């Protein structure tokens, strides 16, 4: 195959590589697969194009429009995934490794699409948290809101997941409304370039939304501003170098760093070889050592085992590792492919060398070579004095390498785990909640994610090494201190939170969400007569008053079976500290409220969809009366035929005291 000449994509054009070209060799055959030179040159121009063209176009789109765009991108990747698998084999990845990268990447786009459609408004502003009352009379209120940063997101990615690594950053960035410049790692840039090409050819992204730098990033950092953001994934060394760039400090550029970490798996003291958690631990350590040939930032590097069980665990691990078939990733029988390059293998060997000064190799020969390709056997080490050791807690061998170490008790295990100085993930194999609690309180602060594997969840567990779009990925300290993904948390990294202060009228109309104190539109018709598009926020209905009688309470109690003493037994209810006598059921009040506010004839209101934030604030006694106010608070388009209306509902007593309030959701025809 003729080597691919990898191109950059800048300001809407593909750029041929220029200058001296260097080869990227196949991890399997050593033959050149691709060539890279310096394609992109005008980095200031790229940043300006992103800010002025891409950002502008993205910011006028609503979250829902951007979410639909992500779905179209995911579909484009899935439709052409076989092209990517073909290239992915050349990086040493098996089909299973490629699945994590390619389909996992598309899955992340799909997940962010659905989060965006379900959890974000069809708007360009995101409300963050409740309205804060700031004044006695309620004419001055506060509300946190988020708007997209107006710069460019610079994504610098590691080599190990060229597709997922790109898409897991692009999904939250584009959903937030920010354009991106992607700089993939050179070693696997041919896969990233191909995936990027699919995104462009899908023709769903506005011009300037994404650009690609294959090759060096030149003086890109010199042109960053406080509206830009750098999201870096890679080694601690590179992260520190980039973070020290004077512009990062001067302009207070947000810098998210996802670095390496010495992730641990801990076998609980209860997980003896006769317990299912022992076998689960052994399986997971082997899986983490061999998936993607151990080139995962989340892979298990340190396996901590109760001292009394370490010999048994070592024997079980060796037995399993001996069965791992290492070879050509295209071969279906192969369980572990190659490292990404010969230089990566050299690096891993030198790291093993450092580790073996404190630990002995108990399985695998790091120097075995089968001729062509960057293959390496899985290497298991054992360190019997981990308390006194340093390298085993510090040196990352980014390959199929892990070190076993014994611990004496949970406090000891926690101390050893924390010697990693901050990790992306830790897994614990135990069936004992007390062990989990002790580990969480002792080591939680050092970890971004804690997976507890036991017999109940093992079958469905997504495993130690898999970051998930809905959960935070990142860890403190050595792991970089960054956070990615985590559902909408990941989107907010690309937005600015602003504390908005003003009158309810102003804030309600700016945020498209009615606030108490903002104008209420009480004139007929009844709000249930208005279609989704006709319904104005603030449209209000105030009901007649209804007296709640003892007969009502008893009728409801017998009808529903809810004969709780507070409704039925005067003496017992009087002794209750909240009621001082019999009171109406909260659910009776809700039912009466519905009876008071509905307009019954068929119309645009299609369905009651649920209640949010319900609070019963004052008891209602026999003889009290109630009335309801229903106000249209916000609207979200859900489908082409209907949208969701959120209503603020307040039930008040004859003394104008608030008895209950809640938000009612209905689906309304357009
Ligand atoms: P790396 O050598 O640190 O490179 C990471 C990225 O930085 C690459 O795209 C690289 O581009 C780029 N880079 C290097 N110098 C640069 C500069 N001066 N200006 C701009 N960009 C620059 O890491 P890697 O070898 O690709 O990845 C392996 C490491 O990443 C491991 O340590 C692993 O633990 C870590 N990792 C962490 C995570 C996480 O989420 N925490 C995920 C995956 C991997 P070139 O390739 O062109 O040099």
**pLDDT confidence tier of residue 405, bands split at 50, 70 and 90:** very high
Is the backbone peptide bond immediately before 525 cis, with ω within 30 degrees of 0?
A: yes
- Catalytic residue, candidates 103, 168, 193, 258: 258
Q: Is the CB of 234 under 6 A from ligand 1?
A: yes
Output the residue whose Cα is nearest ligand 1's atom 42.
297
Output the residue whose Cα is nearest ligand 1's atom 9.
185
Decide: 297 and 287 in contact? Cβ < 8 Å. no
Q: Ligand 1: which atom is nearest the Cα of residue 396? A: 32
Q: Is the CB of 217 under 6 A from ligand 1?
A: yes
Q: Is the CB of 101 under 6 A from ligand 1?
A: no
Ligand 1 mutation target, pool 100, 168, 233, most atoms within 8 A of CB: 233
Q: Is the CB of 488 under 6 A from ligand 1?
A: no
Res 572: pLDDT: 95
Cα(410)–Cα(366) distance, integer angstroms: 32
Res 369: pLDDT: 76
Catalytic site residue 332? no
Give the distance, in angstroms, between the CA of residue 71 and the centroid of all CA atoms in the same chain. Answer: 17
182 phi/psi in degrees, rounded to 5: -105, 130
**pLDDT confidence tier of residue 666, bands split at 50, 70 and 90:** very high
Cα(557)–Cα(561) distance, integer angstroms: 5
Q: How many A from CA of 235 to the centre of ligand 1?
A: 5
Cβ contacts of residue 323 below 8 Å, gap of 6+? none
Q: How many A from CA of 164 to the centre of ligand 1?
A: 14
Q: Is the CB of 158 under 6 A from ligand 1?
A: yes
Average pLDDT estimate for 606-627: 96
Output the residue whose Cα is nearest ligand 1's atom 39.
258
Q: Is the CB of 186 under 6 A from ligand 1?
A: yes
Average pLDDT estimate for 488-507: 97
Res 347: pLDDT: 95
Q: Is the CB of 341 under 6 A from ligand 1?
A: no
Q: Using the predicted structure, report yes or no on whether residue 5 has a pLDDT greater than 80.
A: yes
Q: Using the predicted structure, report yes or no on whether residue 98 has a pLDDT greater than 80.
A: yes
The domains of the chain, with CATH numbers, are 4-260 (3.40.605.10), 263-466 (3.40.309.10), 520-669 (3.10.129.10)
Cβ contacts of residue 294 below 8 Å, gap of 6+? 288, 378, 397, 398, 399, 400, 401, 402
Tokens of 202: 């899908």
Output the residue whose Cα is nearest ligand 1's atom 11.
185
Cβ contacts of residue 143 below 8 Å, gap of 6+? 127, 129, 131, 132, 499, 500, 507, 511, 515
Res 297: pLDDT: 94
Nearest-10 crossing angle of helices 586-597, 550-560: 110
Average pLDDT estimate for 140-153: 98
Tokens of 221: 């950092």
Of 3-7, 172-176, 281-285, 590-594, minimum mean pLDDT range? 3-7
Catalytic site residue 457? no
Q: Using the predicted structure, report yes or no on whether residue 614 has a pLDDT greater than 90.
A: yes
Q: Using the predicted structure, report yes or no on whether residue 462 has a pLDDT greater than 80.
A: yes
Q: How many A from CA of 260 to the centre of ligand 1?
A: 9
341 phi/psi in degrees, rounded to 5: -160, 165
Look at residues 580, 549, 555, 553 and name the one whose alpha carbon lies nearest to residue 567. 553
- Catalytic residue, candidates 193, 277, 288, 297: 297
Q: Is the CB of 398 under 6 A from ligand 1?
A: yes
Burial of 16 (0-12, 13-18, 19+ CB in 10 A): exposed
Q: Is the CB of 243 under 6 A from ligand 1?
A: no
Res 110: pLDDT: 98
Cα(632)–Cα(612) distance, integer angstroms: 14
Q: Using the predicted structure, report yes or no on whether residue 229 has a pLDDT greater than 80.
A: yes
Q: Is the CB of 396 under 6 A from ligand 1?
A: yes
Q: How many A from CA of 232 to the centre of ligand 1?
A: 8
Q: Is the CB of 453 under 6 A from ligand 1?
A: no
Ligand 1 mutation target, pool 23, 24, 93, 238, most atoms within 8 A of CB: 238
Q: Is the CB of 91 under 6 A from ligand 1?
A: no
Cα(370)–Cα(384) distance, integer angstroms: 31
Cα(23)–Cα(156) distance, integer angstroms: 21
Average pLDDT estimate for 79-103: 97
Res 640: pLDDT: 83
- Beta-strand runs (E) in 327-400: 360-363, 379-382
Q: Is the CB of 185 under 6 A from ligand 1?
A: yes
Q: Using the predicted structure, report yes or no on whether residue 39 has a pLDDT greater than 80.
A: no
Q: How many A from CA of 239 to the centre of ligand 1?
A: 8
Give residue-wise pLDDT tens across range 267-316.
999 999 999 999 999 999 999 999 999 999 999 999 999 999 999 999 99
Q: How many A from CA of 158 to the centre of ligand 1?
A: 4
Tokens of 384: 């019997």
Res 271: pLDDT: 97
Q: Ligand 1: which atom is nearest the Cα of residue 482? A: 41
Which 8-state DSSP code applies to residue 223?
G
Q: How many A from CA of 204 to the centre of ligand 1?
A: 29
Q: Using the predicted structure, report yes or no on whether residue 370 has a pLDDT greater than 80.
A: no
The sign one gets for the Cα dihedral 496, 497, 503, 504 is positive
Q: How many A from CA of 238 to the centre of ligand 1?
A: 6
Q: Is the CB of 156 under 6 A from ligand 1?
A: yes
Look at residues 606, 604, 666 and name the one whose alpha carbon lies nearest to residue 636. 666
Average pLDDT estimate for 26-33: 93
Decide: 337 and 93 in contact? Cβ < 8 Å. yes
Ligand 1 mutation target, pool 158, 168, 243, most atoms within 8 A of CB: 158
Give residue-wise pLDDT tens across range 630-642.
999 999 988 889 9
Res 19: pLDDT: 83
Look at residues 184, 198, 215, 177 and name the one whose alpha carbon lies nearest to residue 50. 177
> What does pLDDT average to over the chain?
96
Res 78: pLDDT: 98
The sign one gets for the Cα dihedral 344, 349, 355, 357 is negative
Q: Ligand 1: which atom is nearest the Cα of residue 239? A: 3
Burial of 426 (0-12, 13-18, 19+ CB in 10 A): buried
**pLDDT confidence tier of residue 20, bands split at 50, 70 and 90:** confident
Res 368: pLDDT: 86
Tokens of 400: 């199929």
Average pLDDT estimate for 396-409: 97
Cα(402)–Cα(618) distance, integer angstroms: 60
Q: How many A from CA of 161 to the centre of ligand 1?
A: 11
Q: How many A from CA of 187 to the centre of ligand 1?
A: 10
Give residue-wise pLDDT tens across range 518-562.
999 999 999 999 999 999 999 999 999 999 999 999 999 999 999
Res 67: pLDDT: 98
Tokens of 570: 């005067």
Query: Global pTM?
Result: 0.92
Q: Is the CB of 297 under 6 A from ligand 1?
A: yes
Output the residue whose Cα is nearest ligand 1's atom 23.
234
Per residue, what are the HEC states of 380-449?
EEECCCCCCCCHHHHCCCCCCEEEEEEECCHHHHHHHHHCCCCEEEEEEECCCHHHHHHHHHHHHHHEEE
**Sheet of 32-38, strand order:** 4-5, 32-38, 18-25
Length of the chain counted residue by residue: 670
What percentage of the chain reaches a pLDDT higher than 70? 100
Average pLDDT estimate for 601-623: 96
Res 94: pLDDT: 97
Res 175: pLDDT: 98
Q: How many A from CA of 296 to the centre of ligand 1?
A: 12
Look at residues 658, 599, 605 and name the one whose alpha carbon lies nearest to residue 627. 658
Cα(211)–Cα(221) distance, integer angstroms: 15
β-bridge mates for residue 644, sequence order: 636, 667
Q: Ligand 1: which atom is nearest the Cα of residue 159? A: 26
Q: Ligand 1: which atom is nearest the Cα of residue 344? A: 25
């Amino acid at each position: 195959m003729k080597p691919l000449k990898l191109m950059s994509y800048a300001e809407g054009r593909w750029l041929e590589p220029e200058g001296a070209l260097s080869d990227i060799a196949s991890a399997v055959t050593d033959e050149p697969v691709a060539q890279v030179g310096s394609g992109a040159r005008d980095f200031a121009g790229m940043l300006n194009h992103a800010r002025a063209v891409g950002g502008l176009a993205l910011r006028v789109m609503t979250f829902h429009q951007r979410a639909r765009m992500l779905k179209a991108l995911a579909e484009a990747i899935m439709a052409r995934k076989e092209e990517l698998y073909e290239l992915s084999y050349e990086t040493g990845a098996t089909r299973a490794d490629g699945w994590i990268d390619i389909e996992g990447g598309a899955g992340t786009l799909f997940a962010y699409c659905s989060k965006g459609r379900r959890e974000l408004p069809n708007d360009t502003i995101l409300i963050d948290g409740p309205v804060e009352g700031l004044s006695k009379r309620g004419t001055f209120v506060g509300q946190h809101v988020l708007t997209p940063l107006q710069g460019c997101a610079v994504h610098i990615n590691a080599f190990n997941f060229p597709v997922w690594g790109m898409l897991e950053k692009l999904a939250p960035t584009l959903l937030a409304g920010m354009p991106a410049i992607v700089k993939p790692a050179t070693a696997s840039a041919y896969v990233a370039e191909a995936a990027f090409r699919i995104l462009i050819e899908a023709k769903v992204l506005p011009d300037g939304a994404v650009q690609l730098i294959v090759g060096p990033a030149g003086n890109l950092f010199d042109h960053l501003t406080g509206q830009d953001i750098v999201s870096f994934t890679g080694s601690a060394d590179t992260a520190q170098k980039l973070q020290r760039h004077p512009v990062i400090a001067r302009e207070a550029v947000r810098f998210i760093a996802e670095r390496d970490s010495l992730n641990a798996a801990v076998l609980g003291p209860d997980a003896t070889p006769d317990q299912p958690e022992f076998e689960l631990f052994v399986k997971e350590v082997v899986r983490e050592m061999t998936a993607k040939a151990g080139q995962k930032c989340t892979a298990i590097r340190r396996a901590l085992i109760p001292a009394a069980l370490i010999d048994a665990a070592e024997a079980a691990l060796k037995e399993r590792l001996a069965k791992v078939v290492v070879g050509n990733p295209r071969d279906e029988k192969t369980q572990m492919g190659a490292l990404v390059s010969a230089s990566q293998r050299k690096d891993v060997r030198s790291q093993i060398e450092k580790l073996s000064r404190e630990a002995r190799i108990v399985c695998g020969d790091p120097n075995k070579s089968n001729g062509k390709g960057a293959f390496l056997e899985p290497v298991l080490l054992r360190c019997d004095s981990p308390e006194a050791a340093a390298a085993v807690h510090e040196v990352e061998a980014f390959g199929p390498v892990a070190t076993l170490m014994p611990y004496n008790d949970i406090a000891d295990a926690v101390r050893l785990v924390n010697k990693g100085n901050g990790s992306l993930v830790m897994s614990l194999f135990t069936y004992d909640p007390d062990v989990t609690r002790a580990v969480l309180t002792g080591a939680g602060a050092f970890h971004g994610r804690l997976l507890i594997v036991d017999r109940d969840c093992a079958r469905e567990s997504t495993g130690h090494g898999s970051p998930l779009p809905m959960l935070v990925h990142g860890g403190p300290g050595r792991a970089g201190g960054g956070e990615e993904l985590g559902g909408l948390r990941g989107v907010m990294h690309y937005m600015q939170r602003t504390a908005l202060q003003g009158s309810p009228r102003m804030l309600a109309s700016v945020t498209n969400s009615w606030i108490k104190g903002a104008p209420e539109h009480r004139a007929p018709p009844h709000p249930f007569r208005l279609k989704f598009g006709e319904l104005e926020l603030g449209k209000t209905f105030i009901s007649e008053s209804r007296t709640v009688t003892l007969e009502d309470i008893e009728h409801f109690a017998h009808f529903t079976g809810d004969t709780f003493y507070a409704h039925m037994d005067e003496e017992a209810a009087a002794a209750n500290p909240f009621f001082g006598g019999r009171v109406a059921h909260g659910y009776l009040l809700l039912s009466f409220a519905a009876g008071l506010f509905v307009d019954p004839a068929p119309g645009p209101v299609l369905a009651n969809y649920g209640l949010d934030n319900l609070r019963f604030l004052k008891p209602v006694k026999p003889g009290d009366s109630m009335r309801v106010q229903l106000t249209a608070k916000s609207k979200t388009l859900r489908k082409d035929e209907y949208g969701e209306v959120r209503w603020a509902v307040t039930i008040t007593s004859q003394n104008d005291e608030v008895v209950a309030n809640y938000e009612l959701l209905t689906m309304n025809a357009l």
